[in-house]
Amino acid sequence: MFLWIFIFLLLQFPLFVMKPSVYKDGDIVVGGFFPLYTIFSYSRNTKIPIPLCKFQQKNYQYVLAFIFAIEEINRNPHLLPNMSLGFDLYNAVHSEHRTLESSLIWLSGLDRDIPNYTCRRESKSVAVLTGTTWTISAQIGTLLALYKFPQLTYGPFEPILSDNDQFPSLYQMAPRDTSLALGMISLLLHFSWTWVGLVISEDKKGVQVLSDLRGEMDRSRICAAFVEMIPVSDRTYFSMTWQYHLWIKESSAKVVIVYGDSDSLISLSFSKWHLLVIWKVWVTTSQWDFTIPGFEKFIMTANPSKYPEDFYLAKLWFISFNCMVSESDCKILEKCPLNASLGWLPWHRFDMAMTEGSNNVYNAVYAVAWTLHEMLLQQVEMQTMGSGEGLVFSPWQLHPFLGNIQFNNPAGDSMNLAEGRRSEAENAILNFWNFPEGLGLKVKVGKYSPHAPRGQELSLSEEMIEWAIGVPVTPHSVWSESCSPGFRKTTQEGKATCCFDCAPCPENEISNETDMDQCVRCLDHQYANRERDQCLQKAVTFLAYEDPLGTALACTALSFSGLTAVVLGVFVKHRDTLTVKVNNRTLSYILLVSLTLCFLCSLLFISRPNTATCILQQIAFGVLFTVAVSAILAKTLTVLVAFKVTAPGRRMRQWSVSGAPNFIIPVCSFIQLSLHGVWLGTCPPFIDMVAHSEQGHVIIVCNKGSVTAFYCVLGYLGSLALGSFSLAYLARNLPDTFNEAKFLTFSVLVFCSVWVPFLPVYRSTKGKVMVAVEIFSISASSAGLLGCIFVPKCYIIFLRPERNTSNVLRNTTHLGK
C-alpha cells in the first residue's frame, strides 16, 4: 500500500509530470522527437502493473545539439537573415503501442492525441527530426507522409527507410553503413577471438545485423557461444532480464558482441555493468566524438535558469545534483550546487563529447536551414501570415530542395542528402579507458574503412588499447586452443567448427601458420624439418666415390679388374702350354679382356651422372657382357665339337674345320647392338632425380628410360647363358682331363644366380641403393665367371705343371679310344 501511495504522489508532483512538449517560438519552427524517458509497466508477484518512468539522461545531448544548432543559425547573419528558427520538441516513447502518441499530440496541438484534428489556426512547423531507431522513424514517417511533412532521421542509416515509395517524405542524415558486420569480424580476427557471444535487439534491424554477422562469422570460422535476442516488448523483457544476465555471465566466451539502438530496452539490460563486465570484452556499436566548435562550452553553460521552459533540463538537474523543490513554487529548484554543470557528471550518465546521433541532429537542423535559405534565394512561392508577423512555408515545398541539398556545416564537414551520392561510412574503433571503475574515457584506437585497399581495411594501434582493470594482456576467447605450426585442426564430430583437436602433420607435410585446416606437402626437392613447420631444401646427392659404399664398390671393381688383367698376363705368358692351347686361347683372351672391361664399366655408375655416362652405362654393360657370355657359348661349343669328332665327313667335323664357333661372338654382339640401337632411338636413358629415397636428399640417378628395353637386354643375356648351359650339359660325360665344360656350366650357373634375383631386388630399391645393386651384380657375375673358368687353369699352371703336358693328352686320347 505504501508503494502505491508513493507512486501516486510521485506522478502528481509537478516536476515529474512529463509535459507534451518544450516550445520556443520563431518565424519558422522545427519539430523534434527525442527518446528522453521511457514509460513501461512492471509487476513482480502481482497481476497489477506498476507504471514506471526512466529518464534517459544521456539522450538529453540530442536536445542540446538541437537547441545549439538553432541558436547558432539564429546568430548567423548570412544564413536565413531577418528570420528566426524556433523549436518544438517532444519525447518519443519507445513502445510498441505508444510510438505515435507524441506525433499525434504535435499534429493536433492539444495535450491529448486526437487523430485528424488540430486546434492550431496556423502552423509554423516545416520539418521534424525523428528517431534513433528505425521503428520509430518508420511509424512516424508513415503518419507524417499523409501531411507531406519532411522528416529527417538522426539514427543509424537504415536501407528500409530509403524506400521512396513507402517513405516519400523521409530523409536520413547518417551515411550508409553496410560494413558494420565486416568491421566487427575484422576486429575479432585481428585478436584471434573465435568464440564469442551475441546479444542483439529483437527487432527487424537487429535480425538483419544478426544475419550479416552470422554470415561473416561462418566465412571466418568464428563460432557463437550463445545468441540472445533482447525483446523490444517491455513485458517480455522484464520477465527474462536476469536470465539474460546469468547466461552471459556464465558463458565461457570472453568476448560479447552487443547490438541495439541506444534508446531501446537493450540499454536497460546492461545498466548494471558491474554484474557482467568482469573478464568480458564488449564489442558494441558506439558513438564517435565529433568536433563542433563551441558545443562543449554550450553544454557547460546550459542550466535550468538559462532555459526555464525546458522541464527536461530541470528534471536532469534535479536527478543529477540532488536539488530541492521550492515549497512556494514547485517549479523552482533550490539548494543546487553552486555553478553546477553537466560537465560534472560521469561519462556513463552524461557524455560531454558530441556523439554521432547528436552530430546528425546538428546537421539535420542545418539541412532544414540551408533548404529554407535556398528557397528564399530562388524566391519560391511564399505566403504572408494573416497577422503579418512574418513568412511561413508549406512543408511540402521543402521536398524538391531538401532531397538535393549540399552544404558544409560550421565544422567544415560536407553534407549531401542526395541518395545516389551518399558515401559509405567509416567505422571508428573506440576504446574505453579505465572502464568501468573510472571515467571511461573514449579513445579512438583505429578504424575500419571499406574504401581502403583489400586487406588494409582495418587499422589499429594496439599500443593505445587499455584493457579492463585486472586484465594486463589481450584477452583470449576461443573454445579450442590454437594449433601451433606443425599441427593441423581436426574437427570434433557433432560440434561447431571452432571446436577442434590438433593433430601433427603427416610425414613431409608442414603447417607454418596457426590453426591451419590442412597441412601442405613439401615440394619434391624439399623436405619437412623435425618440427614440420618449414620445408627445407634437399641436398643434391649421388653415389659418389667419397661415399663409403661408392668407395667400396669402386675398390672392388678395380681390384677384380686388376686381377683379371693379371690372369690375362699369365695366359699370354703361358700361351704355348697345353692348358692354354687346348681351351682355345683366343676365346680365353677375348673372355678375359671383356671381363676386365666389365669390371671397369661399373665405374661409370659411380660419381655424378650426366647424359653421356647414362647412355654409356647401358651400352657398355650390355655389349661387354654379351661378348663375355657369347665367348663362353663359343668355348662350350668348341669343347663339344672337339670331343664329338670321331670320323671324317661327320657334320661336327665340318663345324670344327670351318671355324663356325668363331662367328658366335660377332653375331651375338651385333644382335645386342641392334637392341641398343632401338633402345636409344625410342626412349634412351636420361638423368633423373629421386626425391623420396632418403630424408633430406635429392638423389641424381640415371633413369633407364625404357624399362622394357632394359629387360630385353637382360633377357637376351639370359638366353645366351641358357644356351651355354645347355651345351655344357651335353658335354658333361666327356673325358675331363682338359674338358672345361663342367667349369663353364658352373660359371653360367653362378652368372644366372646373380642376375635372376637382381630383378626383384632392383625393382624394390631406389636411389643410390638401386645403383649399388646394379654395380654389385655386374662385379659379382663377372667375378663368378672369372673364378669358375680361370682359377682351375691357373691352379694347373702354377701348382700342377705335370698335368700341363702332351703326355696327359695322349693318355686321355688312348683311354677315349
Which cell numbers in the block locate residue 374? 535556398
768-772 long-range contacts (CB < 8 A, ≥24 apart) are 768/541, 768/542, 768/543, 768/547, 768/549, 768/693, 768/694, 768/699, 768/701, 769/693, 770/701, 771/543, 771/605, 771/606, 771/701, 771/702, 772/543, 772/549, 772/553
- CA 95/CA 260 separation, integer angstroms: 15
Give yes or no for a contact between 744 and 636, defined as CB atoms under 8 angstroms apart.
yes
* Phi and psi at residue 129, to the nearest 5°: -100, 135
Which one-letter amino acid corresponds to residue 12? Q
- CA 440/CA 274 separation, integer angstroms: 13
Tell me, what's the pLDDT at 532?
Answer: 92
Tell me, what's the pLDDT at 815?
Answer: 36
> Which of these, 347, 350, 364, lies nearest to 430 by C-alpha position?
347
User: What are the pLDDT digits (tens) for 661-676?
Assistant: 678 889 999 999 999 9
Tell me, what's the pLDDT at 19?
Answer: 55
Tell me, what's the pLDDT at 11?
Answer: 38
Domain-wise residue ranges, the chain: 304-340, 487-537, 548-816
Give me the DSSP letters along 205-261: HHHHHHHHHHHHHHHTT-EEEEEEEEESSHHHHHHHHHHHHHHHHH-S-SEEEEE--
Virtual torsion, Cα 125, 127, 130, 136, nearest 10 deg = 90
The CATH number assigned to the domain with range 548-816 reads: 1.20.1070.10
Residues of the chain predicted below pLDDT 70: 1-20, 38-53, 93-123, 232-245, 261-279, 286-289, 327-331, 348, 379-392, 419-424, 434-440, 469, 642-661, 692-693, 731-739, 804-817
> Which of these, 481, 493, 479, 486, lies nearest to 508 by C-alpha position?
486
pTM (whole model) above 0.75? no
Give me the DSSP letters along 670-710: HHHHHHHHHHHHHS--EEEEEEEEETTEEEEEEE-S-HHHH
Number of H helices, E strands in the chain: 23, 30
User: Where are the strands (E) in 240-390, listed by range?
Assistant: 255-259, 281-284, 324-325, 333-334, 383-384
Tell me, what's the pLDDT at 423?
Answer: 64
* Phi and psi at residue 607, to the nearest 5°: 85, 175
Q: How many CA atoms lie within 13 A of 319 on its CB side?
A: 17
3-state secondary structure (DSSP) of residue 111: coil
> Which of these, 501, 468, 514, lies nearest to 192 by C-alpha position?
514
Pick left, alpha or beta for residue 412 (phi over 0 → left; psi -120 to 50 → alpha; otherwise beta).
left
Tell me, what's the pLDDT at 244?
Answer: 61
**Kind and range of the H or E element at 776?**
helix 767-799
Give yes or no for a contact between 273 and 436, defined as CB atoms under 8 angstroms apart.
yes
User: What are the pLDDT digits (tens) for 446-485?
Assistant: 888 888 888 888 999 988 888 876 777 888 888 888 889 9
Give yes or no for a contact between 465 and 431, defined as CB atoms under 8 angstroms apart.
yes
Start-to-end CA span in the chain (Å): 152
Give yes or no for a contact between 28 and 126, defined as CB atoms under 8 angstroms apart.
yes
Cα 505 to Cα 221, 486, 692, distances in angstroms: 21, 6, 17
Which cell numbers in the block locate residue 423? 558515401
Cα 446 to Cα 12, 358, 502, 591, distances in angstroms: 49, 22, 33, 88
Q: Cα angle at 621 between 593 and 790, to 5 degrees?
A: 35
Give me the DSSP letters along 517-547: SS-EEPPTTEEE-TTSS-EEEPEEE---TTS
Per 3-state DSSP, what percentage of the chain is helix, strand, and coil (rounded to 5)? 45, 20, 35
Give me the helix-helix angle, 585-601 and 767-799, nearest 10°: 150
Tell me, what's the pLDDT at 635?
Answer: 82
Question: Which residues, including other chains, have CB under 8 Å from residue 697's CB and lie 6 or more apart?
Answer: 538, 539, 540, 541
Give yes or no for a contact between 587 and 571, defined as CB atoms under 8 angstroms apart.
no
